[in-house]
Amino acid sequence: METKKDVKRMVNRNIKEMKILIGASSSKIFHLNEFAKELIKLGIETKVVFDVDYSDGFPSRKIKHWLKPKKTFKKLIEEFKPDIILVDRQRHFGLDAIKEKIPLIIHLRGNYWKEMKTARKTIYKSLPKQVALNAWEKIGEECFKGAEIIVPICKYLDEITKKKLENKNTFVMYQGIDPSKWYNTNGIKLEHPCVGLLQGAVIWDKTKELLILENVLEKLPNVKFYWVGDGPFRKEIMTKLEKYKNFEWLGALEYPNKVREYLSEIDMYALISGLDMSPLTLLEAQLMKKPVIATNVGGIPELMIDKKTGFLIENGNATQLIEKIEELLDDPKKIEEMGIQGRKFVEENFSWKVITQKFIDNVKKTLDK
């Protein structure tokens, strides 16, 4: 098995000789497969696996995995012989990579420290869940400690990471996307004019911002708002908003086909989030040539151009949201122009081709220090 020094020598000699193993979570394996395809195009042998298929344990929800032997992981390593392992979450797969002394890269997608703190106060209040959370926290700390590089998903998160993990190598790797998969298509039919809301209800600090829609729905009774997404906090949102005739929850749509149909049909997209790092939906909406309105929080401003591909609004400001929706509805030409600029912006900055090349350049630069 190669050591860090061996990998440095390999990077210096020929980056195309590297072999990268990606341990993916179920929610991100689709996107990491797209990333892998671009790595392969560059001549880098890459393999993507579902992380828990090869390494899992306490406090996994699947109790049978608690005593699961690590033979599958060891066999995977022996057969593929990776030079680098990349993971998109801090779990047992990352721990095993560290134990095997294979350089580990963690793609950090959210403010882990704040999310753990929030989880402890909300959905992980019971004693059994507290025990599980403590175990996940310990695993996370070990992964961060043993990782070679931490790769935050936006500049905003990179600054947080640098403060939390002062001695770690970091560089930003944005969420990539394949523009060719986002095109207008028929299917879902909606009432117009309408605003699309495509976001989950998993983290309360993100989701609670949707409650400002109460004022918006009252002031814009002739505009239909369609929410796509789900999660443990859906009930809190629906309790407040379902009484409005111009608000409708469509549930969680099949990805990417039904989401593509939905984005084809809406007039504009609004991301009303209280906390977000790199929401893929913002890129998808822009690729579908929809003007976007988004709260100016976290990494959101890095994924759009204010007043060119859409509008940034202050967190919690229902008045600004109303004004921007009305401004767009009153100017169809602006909707079209912003849509065109949005697709161009995403194609030039967030395609997997662009993201993958930057990743390879940054890995080489970091390991060459």
pLDDT, tens digit, 9 for 90 and up, residues 35-89: 999 999 999 999 999 999 999 999 988 877 777 767 799 999 999 999 999 999 9
**Would you place residue 115 in the very low, low, confident or very high pLDDT band (cuts 50, 70, 90)?**
confident
Residue 332 vs residue 6, higher pLDDT: 332
- Note the pLDDT of residue 5: 54
12 plus 149 within the same structural domain: yes
15 plus 128 within the same structural domain: yes
Instruction: Report, as an integer, the average pLDDT of 12-18.
Output: 65
Range of the domain at 357: 4-176+351-367
- Note the pLDDT of residue 251: 97
Instruction: Report, as an integer, the average pLDDT of 15-36.
Output: 91
Mark 331-347 as b/e (b = at least 16 C-beta within 10 Å). eeeebeebbebbbebbb
90 plus 169 within the same structural domain: yes
**Would you place residue 4 in the very low, low, confident or very high pLDDT band (cuts 50, 70, 90)?**
low
Contacts of 169 (CB under 8 A, 6+ apart): 148, 149, 150, 366, 369
- Note the pLDDT of residue 151: 98
Distance in angstroms (rounded) separating the CA atoms of residues 272 and 232: 17
**Would you place residue 237 in the very low, low, confident or very high pLDDT band (cuts 50, 70, 90)?**
very high
- Note the pLDDT of residue 349: 98
Distance in angstroms (rounded) separating the CA atoms of residues 273 and 280: 13
Q: Does the pLDDT value for residue 11 go beyond 70?
A: no
- Note the pLDDT of residue 366: 86
Instruction: Report, as an integer, the average pLDDT of 284-313.
Output: 98
Torsional class of 144: left (φ above 0), alpha (ψ -120 to 50), beta (otherwise): alpha
- Note the pLDDT of residue 144: 98
- Note the pLDDT of residue 69: 67
Mapping DSSP onto H, E and C, the string for the chain reads CCCHHHHHHHHHHCHHHCEEEEEECCCCHHHHHHHHHHHHHCCCEEEEEEHHHCCCCCCCCCHHHCCCCCHHHHHHHHHHCCCEEEECCCCHHHHHHHHCCCCEEEEECCCHHHHHHHHHHCCCCCHHHHHHHHHHHHHHHHHHHHCCEEEECCHHHHHHHHHHCCCCEECCCCCCECHHHCCCCCCCCCCCCEEEEECCCCCHHHHHHHHHHHHHHHHCCCCEEEEECCCCCHHHHHHHHCCCCCEEEEECCCCCHHHHHHHHHCCEEEECCCCCCCCHHHHHHHHCCCCEEEECCCCHHHHCCECCCEEEECCCCHHHHHHHHHHHHCCHHHHHHHHHHHHHHHHHHHEHHHHHHHHHHHHHHHHCC
- Note the pLDDT of residue 257: 96
Q: Does the pLDDT value for residue 27 go beyond 60?
A: yes
Count of the separate structural domains present in the chain: 2
- Note the pLDDT of residue 203: 85
143 plus 184 within the same structural domain: no
269 plus 334 within the same structural domain: yes
pLDDT single digits (tens) 85-108? 999 999 999 999 999 999 999 999
Q: Does the pLDDT value for residue 137 go beyond 80?
A: yes
Contacts of 35 (CB under 8 A, 6+ apart): 22, 176, 352, 355, 356
- Note the pLDDT of residue 226: 98
Q: Is the alpha carbon torsion for 369, 41, 358, 162 positive or negative? A: negative
Distance in angstroms (rounded) separating the CA atoms of residues 190 and 290: 15
- Note the pLDDT of residue 205: 84
10 plus 155 within the same structural domain: yes
- Note the pLDDT of residue 15: 66
- Note the pLDDT of residue 367: 77
Torsional class of 228: left (φ above 0), alpha (ψ -120 to 50), beta (otherwise): beta
**Would you place residue 7 in the very low, low, confident or very high pLDDT band (cuts 50, 70, 90)?**
low
126 plus 18 within the same structural domain: yes
**Would you place residue 275 in the very low, low, confident or very high pLDDT band (cuts 50, 70, 90)?**
confident
248 plus 264 within the same structural domain: yes
Q: Does the pLDDT value for residue 283 go beyond 90?
A: yes
29 plus 123 within the same structural domain: yes
- Note the pLDDT of residue 234: 96
Q: What is the mean pLDDT of the chain?
A: 93
- Note the pLDDT of residue 365: 87
> CATH number, domain at 305?
3.40.50.2000
- Note the pLDDT of residue 120: 86
pLDDT single digits (tens) 211-230? 999 999 999 999 999 999 99
17 plus 138 within the same structural domain: yes
Instruction: Report, as an integer, the average pLDDT of 243-250.
Output: 98
Full-model pTM: 0.91
- Note the pLDDT of residue 13: 47
316 plus 356 within the same structural domain: no
359 plus 247 within the same structural domain: no
